[in-house]
Structure 1
Amino acid sequence: MIEAVWAALGGSAGELRRLTISGPERTLGSRFPVTAFGTATIGAALLAASDGDVAIDTRQAAVVLRSERYLRRAGEEPSSLFDPLSAFHRTADGWIRLHANYPWHAAAARSVLGDDPAAAIGDWEKVPLETALHEAGGVAAATRTEEEWAATEAGAAARSLPLVDRRVLGEAAPRPARRPRVLDLTRVIAGPVATRTLAVHGADVLRIDPPHLPEIPHQAWEMLPDKRSALASLPLEDLLAGADVVVTGYRPGALDRFGMAPEELAARHPGLVVVTLSAWGHRGPWAGRRGFDSLVQSACGIGLVEGDPGALPAQVLDHATGYLGAAGALLALAEQRRSGGTHHVRLALAGTASYLQRLPRTPPGAEDVDPAPYLQELGPFTIARPPGAGLRWTSVPDYGGAAPEWLP
């Protein structure tokens, strides 16, 4: 598995001898090979981050691929970040999965479904409701079989996506080596996993959130270790001018009005490494749709393979895409410093799902994992340690507590 994942990133096959993978074959029970695939993406990030020998155990992988489950504050589990609407709901002809954890997405759902949305859903057919919610600014995906998804234009576009797309946007001189500065414009697991991985491996990561769209506290606490966090509005030209890497986690085109299209960034800031992560990718009729891991699983057929409907044992589309994003950023940064160019690394949850679905299926069942050896205390928090031997978080999450500027 690691050989194919590392090749998809453009890594040199000779580097694989530096990686040791140990532990049981399956520590996450699924009909898909999520243990092997998730562990491979973590291993790829470790390889990209180091010149020495690295190792990952599948037991630690099972914990870090579900890291949000293990967060505790002052010894207590934070209240659930899931809104009651963020679930599967039965429609007149099947199922639909909604995501309403952010207040603005919940408001969009209620604008379509009224004051009792859970009750109203049963009167709708799943695809018309999916469309209506999307048009209202909400987030939802009808639950399809793999065959139904394959028959759609969106499904065909997803299947055409590579696991990782690396390209050079333009010429630029090699930049001198220094501690990487990473501008983090992401939220909700995939992007934050990528940037916290860069942070624990030494980058100065500055996450920017818009003041009018606050982050859910649980997600901020779990995804901000070792980063600095500031509140600011776009555009961020001074920060971009000082950055080595920018990571965005929005729909393709969503940031274009702020001059954040990858091609525009390449023109204004040659030599920048641009990493873009999205739900549905840059191709096909769903490229402009909002989406999350749970919705991609619902739409592409994973949900119905795993249950009636069900879900993967971890949000592995998010986490795996995040580790791939970190690995891609580090490999692109190294190439930029060697040979120059403005590099773009492009990933999508739907592309990760398509890759996972093409892998051989596995029987159900997995070895139980004790998470305790893979957790650490960090201020008032208990949190999953970063993967890899000897790594630990060092700074306590502080949402919005930093100035929007680079460290000297």
Structure 2
Amino acid sequence: MTHARNSGTEQAWAALGGDPALLERIDGGGPAGVLPARLPVLELARSTVAVCALAAAELAARRTGGGSGAVPRVRVDDGAVGTAFLSERHLRIDGRAPATFAPLSRFWRTADGWVRTHANYPHHRARLLTALGLPDDAGADAVAAVLAGRRSVETEETVYAAGGLAVALRTPEEWAAHEQGAAIAARPLLTLDRTEGPGPVAPRRLAPLAAAPLLPAAGLRVLDLTRVLAGPVATRDLALLGADVLRIDAPQLPESQDAHNDTGFGKRSVSLDLRDRAGRATFEELLAEADVLVTGYRPGALEAYGLTPEALAVRRPGLVLAQVSAWGRYGPWHERRGFDSLVQVASGIAALEGGPGAPGALPAQALDHGTGHLLAAGILRALSDQHDEGGSRLLRLALGQTAHWLCNGVPRRPDAGTSETYDPEKYLGSVDGVTGRLRYALPPVSFAGGPTDWSRPPGRLGADSPRWRAVAA
């Protein structure tokens, strides 16, 4: 047993409301020197994976009729964790590396410091160029020339006002003094609350598990309204654990098949336009039979469709609603879009990880991956609680909260140094998919008797039928 007192795992499990006695079910190990950084990135990574695996093992015990003593042991391998936190970099499609950051998604020098932009999507690129007064075909040199004469915070505000994404580099002290940073610091890592509709909701009695491997989410239906990374990582975990995950994308929003090749394992993908009457009717039919709804769009974007916690508690009693955002649902930035790289810049992480005269970055998109595993853990914990108590549940996380935890809460441990024994190939799998031969990171979530890989490779985005699979009697 390698669990340490006041570890990140203990903190995360307490935030999830888990039984502290179950922490003794966690074993660890693996190579040293994984995810090296000035901040305790490896501790965050192993902690979020550990609580996800422990929540899965806890739910498996509920469904096999055992008590806490029957919770399977959890294994956290640092090599598997580190490889999975870099899954998008390890991915290969017929030997080809996926497309990652676009040319205009990067750090830029300004008149008084640095700013980072995010322009991977065409509409974000267009809005960035519009805000800077540049033509649609402008390249990096033109952007650099404009930003060199502008102040960082001015650029941040101008680009956001135009619907683009840009964040000024701040130190941890500057972020702590910022109104949004202070709002984040005043709140917990996550919230998991019970919500009620017009009447009581009986305990959820899931069918017993009998077959191997143990799939604690088997028979559960998950509507996945998330994009990019944190939300898709969470629903990828749920798919591993047996859930029927149906990803919904709007046809008018561009999305990357390469990204789906990384996070789409075990899922199906549907294209639905909620603005269209037929698309909305189909969505409502799916929602009526869903057990979990996961959303990752900017706060306010889905409320127009009646997807508020209060409305859902009435329309779908017993639903677990899980929401993830960049900046949280509070403070002056609560409706702003955001990505892992931008949260790193605002929160002081890029300043801490940088060197003299230049900002840096974490060795992985650890805010996305860590928040994703926490999100899955919270959903699994909600399902265990519902098994005993019934009711609906509301789970909320934000990348900004995870960043604050990394900088101020996750314990710093002595640097284990580099390791010549760490070989990521040991933690990679390969499979034939619809887009070619995929090399991919194997799942890091592991417990005794549980699954070791996903049941199916990713399909094409939007190519599946908008219907649930039949649940076995």
Same fold? TM cut 0.5: yes
* Distance in 2 separating the partners of 1:173 and 1:256: 27
- How many Å apart are 1:24 and its aligned residue? 4.3
SS at 1:325 equivalent: helix
| Structural mapping, 1:319-398, within 5 Å | 319-358=369-408, 359-361=410-412, 366-367=418-419, 369-379=422-432, 380-389=437-446, 391-398=452-459
Larger Rg: 2
Matching residue within 9, 32, 36 for 2:16: 9
Structure 1 residue 214 displacement after superposition: 2.7
Q: Letter of the aligned partner of 1:323 in structure 2?
A: H
Q: Residues of 2 paired with 1:286 and 1:146: CA distance?
A: 17
Match of 1:246 among 293, 303, 306: 293
Alignment of 1:9-408 (within 5 A): 9-24=16-31, 26-50=33-57, 51-78=71-98, 80-113=99-132, 114-115=134-135, 116-170=142-196, 171-178=200-207, 179-234=219-274, 235=280, 236-307=283-354, 308-358=358-408, 359-361=410-412, 366-367=418-419, 369-379=422-432, 380-389=437-446, 391-398=452-459, 399-408=461-470
When residues 24 and 81 of structure 1 are mapped into structure 2, their CA distance, relative to the original with a 3 A threshold, is: closer
Q: Structure 2: how far apart are the matches of 1:185 and 1:62?
A: 26
Amino acid across the alignment from 1:5? A
For residues 327 and 256 of structure 1, what CA distance do their matches in structure 2 show?
A: 25
Q: TM-score, normalized by length of structure 2?
A: 0.83
Distance, in Å, in 2 between the alignment partners of 1:310 and 1:223 is 26
CA distance in 2, matches of 1:138, 1:105: 5
Q: Would the aligned equivalents of 1:277 and 1:347 in 2 still touch at CA under 8 Å?
A: yes
What is the percentage of aligned positions where both structures have the same residue?
49
Q: Retained in 1: the 8 A contact 2:319–2:392?
A: yes
Contact kept? 1:375, 1:382, Cα under 8 Å:
yes
CA distance in 2, matches of 1:226, 1:401: 14
Shift of 1:102: 0.8
Unaligned runs of 5+ in 2: 1-6, 58-70, 136-141, 208-218, 275-279
Deviations 1:202-256 (A, max 9, x none): 1000000111113112111111010011111224211111100000001222210
Range 228-237 or range 355-364, more displaced: 355-364
Task: Tell me which amino acid in the other structure corresponds to 1:117.
Answer: V
- Secondary structure of residue in 1 paired with 2:378: helix
Spell out, residue by residue over 1:17-51, the C-alpha distance to the aligned partner (whole angstroms, 9 max, x if none): 22111124541111111111110100111111123
Distance in 2 (CA, whole Å) between partners of 1:34 and 1:316 is 7
Contact 1:245 1:274 in 2 (8 A): yes
Change (3 A) 1:319 1:403: same
Whether the 8 Å contact between 2:109 and 2:144 is mirrored in structure 1 is no
Q: Tell me if the contact between 1:25 and 1:36 (Cα under 8 Å) persists in the aligned partners.
A: no
Is the deviation greater in 10-19 or in 317-326?
10-19
**Total equivalences in the alignment:** 407
Tell me by how many angstroms 1:123 deviates.
1.8
- Residue 69 of structure 1 and its aligned partner are, at CA, apart by 0.5
Q: CA deviation at 1:394?
A: 2.6
Q: Deviations over 1:79-133 (max 9, x none)?
A: x321111111111111011111111111110111213323212121111110111
Q: What is the CA distance between 1:360 and its match in structure 2?
A: 4.4
SS at match of 2:148: helix
Following superposition, the deviation at residue 177 of structure 1 comes to: 1.4
Tell me which amino acid in the other structure corresponds to 1:404. P
**Runs of at least 4 residues off by over 6 Å:** none
Deviates more, 1:298-307 or 1:14-23: 14-23
Letter in 1 for 2:270: A
8 Å contact from structure 1 (residues 70, 382) kept in 2: yes
